Chains A and B, each alone.
Chain A
Amino acid sequence: MTEQKLDYLTDEELEKLIEDVEMHGMLECPSYVKQEILEKTRVSLRKRKQQFYIYSFKVWGATAAAIVLLFSLPQAPQMIEPQFSITDKLSRGTSSVCESLNNFTDMLIDRERWEEY
């Protein structure tokens, strides 16, 4: 037996292997393999949908929070000089909302992983 480096099969080698396998009898694949594949594809599709909904929820939530903050900020009286600009306040407010949303979705994802395990 000669030693050979493990390379991917060339097209000719692959074709020969397919012909050989088809001609000399194929093995039955256990039935649970197909079931497991289908289950994994469904789980994968479900996960992708969930991730999409979580992402959409984050984006909409942050947008709604930003709008609410924008309209709920009181008018600053003219004689008192504001310590922070409106954009600073908006930025701090939306960061805090985003952090809460991130913590909530991380909790959901962690729970899903735990259930999977």
Chain B
Amino acid sequence: MNSEERLVSWMEEYEKLVFSICYRMTQDYFAAQDITQETFLSAFRHSSDFDGVSAKAWICRIASNKCVDYLRNAVRRQIPTEDEKIPETVSNIGRPEEEILENELKKQLLDACRSLSPPYDKVAEDYFYLEKKAETIAREQEQNIKTIQTRIYRARNMLREIYRKKNLDRRTT
């Protein structure tokens, strides 16, 4: 099995778990996606360091450490106040089944996509909510693929900012 095949097999087995852990720890939909990507890329680059014992534990360890790094950076970016609370670690972080169901997450995502200004709103809805491929969107909108990819890139940055601000508001209230 070459390294790409191994990566694909790890993703098929652990992608949901890693994404769920990242969302549980960061409570940020787009941060969870970014950290999931970084986790698998890191696992791919450092697969020679893997001792072969438990891929699940190793990959989840990478994910959780990256989440902690993300949270540390997020805290550092905020201006500290007396009432500032650093999010707790494992046990008290919101559980999906108690707070936000997957439908609610999707609804929030759709609202966030529609809040963007044109032409980013349509592209964001097609790519992030409907999960269409960039090539499909380019064909439907009769646009150049590079144009669509640029719009996806910018829409993602705008959505990240929206989610980051939402999280910041939640932590300070």
Q: Give me the interface of A with B, judged by CB distance under 8 Å.
A: 1-9, 13-18, 20-22, 24-38, 40-42, 44-45
Interface membership of chain B positions 49-75, coded 1 if the CB is closer than 8 angstroms to chain A and 0 otherwise: 000000011001100110010011001
> Contact between A6 and B11 (Cβ–Cβ < 8 Å)?
no
Closest to A32 in B: B131
Bound-state Cα–Cα, A32 to B136, Å: 13
> Contact between B96 and A14 (Cβ–Cβ < 8 Å)?
no
Question: Which interface class (under 10, 10 to 19, 20 to 34, 35 or more) fits B?
Answer: 35 or more
> Contact between B33 and A8 (Cβ–Cβ < 8 Å)?
no
Listed A/B pairs (15) with beta-carbon separation below 8 Å: A1-B92, A4-B88, A6-B71, A6-B72, A9-B90, A16-B91, A17-B21, A17-B64, A18-B56, A20-B95, A26-B20, A29-B16, A29-B19, A30-B33, A33-B36
Q: A48 to nearest B CB, angstroms?
A: 10
A3-B86, A30-B131 are known; give 11 further A-B pairs, CB within 8 A.
Answer: A1-B88, A6-B86, A8-B64, A9-B64, A13-B89, A14-B61, A27-B23, A29-B36, A32-B131, A41-B4, A44-B41
Residues of A within 8 A of B4 (CB): 38, 41-42, 45
Bound-state Cα–Cα, A30 to B90, Å: 24
Bound-state Cα–Cα, A13 to B89, Å: 9
> Contact between A25 and B97 (Cβ–Cβ < 8 Å)?
yes
Interface membership of chain B positions 20-56, coded 1 if the CB is closer than 8 angstroms to chain A and 0 otherwise: 1101110000000100110011001100000000001
Residues of A within 8 A of B91 (CB): 16
